[in-house]
Amino acid sequence: MKYKNIVDNGKIPVLGLGTWEVGGHRSADYSQDDEIVEAFQAALELGYTHIDTAEMYGGGHTEELIGQAIRGVKRQDLFITSKVWPDNLHYADVLNAAAGSLKRLGTDYLDLYLIHWPNDRVPLEETFKALNELVERGQVRRLGVSNFNLRQLRQARQLSQTKLVCNQVPYSLFQREYVNNGVLEYCQENGILVTAYTPIEKGRVANNADLKQIAGKYAATPVQVALSWLVSQPQVITIPMSTNKKHLAENLEAADLELSEEDIHRLDQLS
């Protein structure tokens, strides 16, 4: 596994495990709990160490399932990210939301805590007052944001008392909004990670003819090529979601796939 450097001399895997819609959408789905916990445990055995989740996923149930899966795993070997929902961005609500996530995950701290979506109805100064306090308490190690545009990202960077780790946004070969709006370039210039979610467009990339041709050169899958293209870029990591053991293994292998400059340039031109 390759890593990228972050604040406080830390590092983060270039490829983590996304968990959206695992254990429910915005409310809990208990119908596949055993299978999901088994899939999470399989991911850990394969070598996944970064798990990305949120209080909103499954109405909190996803965090509970992760908590079950990581029991017995050394906490220092894991990098756990969670997110606070935009309805909970007032000062007291942030503190309560973080406490809820910690309880469901069964951990004393989060490695990274993000604002899930901006909420212009709540002053960002109030939100960061709580987030900075969580860092001071040691309940959160690092801060970041998600789905922030350039204006919002600049403001968040000013308000955070510790260096922002990332902006988590939709980014893939076919989704480049945050390239076009200047966020990616800003992050690369200021040492902020872009964490790409929905990196394989729910399987869309698997059927692209150009990707299939390039993948054939490396004895790889189109999905692996798409993931490798992302993490080959400065300040970009990604968090594909899967509970399929075969796909989990293939996604993880993509982190070590080295594409030629020619093929990276060719992929850069896709849209």
- Residues marked active site are found at 57
Is 182 within 8 Å of 151 (Cβ atoms)? no
Phi, psi dihedrals of residue 267, rounded to the nearest 5° = -70, -35
Distances (CA, A) of 212 to 73, 78, 225, 238, 264: 37, 34, 9, 21, 14
Interatomic CA distance for residues 72 and 74, integer angstroms? 6
Task: Report which of 117, 111, 140, 143 is spatially closest to residue 128, judged by C-alpha positions.
Answer: 143
State whether residue 86 is helix, strand or coil.
Answer: helix
Is 184 within 8 Å of 194 (Cβ atoms)? yes
- Element (DSSP H or E) covering residue 132: helix 124-137
Is 211 within 8 Å of 205 (Cβ atoms)? yes
